[in-house]
Chain A
């Protein structure tokens, strides 16, 4: 009996340890500076104080950062899924010649460190006027994410039942129509998993957005928060508020997409 519960208790203790950072950050984000200086970081806030969050929000124009992140991640998710579908249609269903090598190339592109692309991309994007634009980042991540999507979706589509395609061809559907009216609707579950993954992966990206989005108006949430780290203007409660604002969207997405994510997490494991 004691043994039965001792295992559970230690697992619960570990879970609490894992969650403590979230709790501590939240407590201090809603604590007034006066409250903090008298009680320190571990005390409970005497009252709910949202001024720190509001001040930080306004100072960095957090709404604008949220919009940039949403715009970039949303566009990348949609465009990368479209690109992955087109590729996978040719590779998985069309079985074009040399498809194994093409797939290896996509897989390599997916494992390449971004460090090995960053300077030429920085240089080239300046030449064509895409540096420090959200469009530039959208294009780059569309390609990077679709490398993974192509790899995954090709193997899914290579098992696509040929009878369905033959039936569509008998009905007079060309390849283009067969793709959008037959293949895409039937593959919807896989596509929605990909869409969610691309969205979250792009949201979480830091390195390339840090290099490419230097002006305040274009920055994403993680970049804006990361650049402000160690800012002398930020006191303890305001730093805490900034951390909380970074946590909240991620947790909200997790809750919204939880079902899709748990269904697809083993899919994402390949990445």
Chain B
């Protein structure tokens, strides 16, 4: 059977087209639709137009969940990127050259290790360490003469504690990506700057940052999206508590879906979250486009 050189390849897309329709397209459209209804998950959904969205705008918990999410973007994207840049540049430029690539590699592996954990397991590890009764953190602080705290149970400490855990979890990722990016930087650039007497900070600022800008964008984008989707650590550590102190949109929608049977409201939250993620993605792709 002879067919034209092109054409006919679409057959290979068929299995995916079917599965995608069933698993992504239809559920996504259903979710958007359910967002316009009041529904308990059983019986017929009742169409209420934009009511869920007007309710969202007036819901203090909804706004609180986004404020907490901004805090998690700081903890999961911004702080790790800054620390990751300094660490990667130091490992590459200083440790790698003066103490050998093996030392740099070992340190990189140590920073990266938390990243291999399922994020829920990372939460379990820290839930144990921060446990008010038997955790190691309070014991350690006691030895240093500081007072113990209920890190995850105290409304004013819960969010900072979760943030600290997420910084620990995330740091290794930018370090590895940035070090890989630095591989392609021409060493002559550094040598020239060094002979010109540029300080380490100047070289860091003018060479490292500008040369690995694409990697910085990728890390910021992927980590921001990960922060917007964060669920596992919140579920494991605080369930959004105490008193909503660590509530995030993802967990807020889960609560409405499966604990309160407010399926319509949960769908509206999920739709808003989707829009937000699309906006962030488009924003980053735009900047990247303009740069190149």
Which residues on A are within 8 Å of B, measured CB to CB?
Answer: 4, 7-8, 11-12, 14-16, 18-19, 21-22, 24-25, 28, 36, 40-42, 83, 86-87, 89-91, 93-96, 102, 105, 108-109, 111-124, 139-140, 142-144, 146-147, 150, 174-175, 179, 200, 203-207, 210-211, 221-223, 225-226, 229-230, 235-236, 239-240, 242-243, 246-247, 250-251, 253-254, 262, 265-266, 269-271
Contacts and interface: CB of A to CB of B under 8 A. Distances in A.
Contacts, number: 259
A152 to B, nearest CB: 13
A115 B236 contact: no
B270 interface: yes
B24 A109 contact: yes
A243 B176 contact: no
B118 A119 contact: no
A271 B16 CA distance: 19
B253 interface: yes
A117 B277 CA distance: 14
Contact of B107 (A15, A120, A144): A15
Nearest to B121: A246
Given A7-B94, A222-B121, A115 B8 contact: no
A113 B225 CA distance: 9
B239 to A, nearest CB: 9
A115 B250 contact: yes
The residue among A96, A120, A123, A124 with the most chain B CB atoms within 10 A of its own CB is A120
Interface string B54-74: 000000000000000000000
Interface residues of B, number: 92
Contacts of B103: 8
B26 A120 contact: yes
Interface in B1-29: 1, 6-13, 15-16, 19-20, 22-24, 26-28
Interface in B185-199: none
B9 A89 contact: yes
B113 A22 contact: yes
A246 to B, nearest CB: 4
B120 interface: yes
The 3 closest A-B pairs by CB, nearest first: A94-B9, A246-B121, A120-B27
Interface of B: 1, 6-13, 15-16, 19-20, 22-24, 26-28, 30-31, 34, 41, 87, 90-91, 94-95, 98-99, 103, 107, 110-111, 113-114, 116-121, 123-129, 131, 133-136, 139-140, 143, 168, 171-172, 176-177, 180-181, 215, 218-219, 222, 225, 228-229, 231-232, 235-236, 249-250, 253-254, 257-258, 263, 266-267, 269-271, 273-274, 277-278, 281
Contacts of A118: 254, 257, 270
A240 to B, nearest CB: 6
Nearest to B10: A96
A7 B31 contact: no
SS of A interface (majority): helix
17 contacts: A8-B95, A21-B129, A24-B129, A87-B13, A93-B9, A108-B278, A112-B24, A113-B277, A120-B34, A121-B27, A143-B16, A146-B16, A221-B121, A226-B123, A240-B128, A251-B116, A266-B177
A116 B35 CA distance: 10
The residue among B1, B94, B116, B119 with the most chain A CB atoms within 10 A of its own CB is B116
A100 B19 CA distance: 20
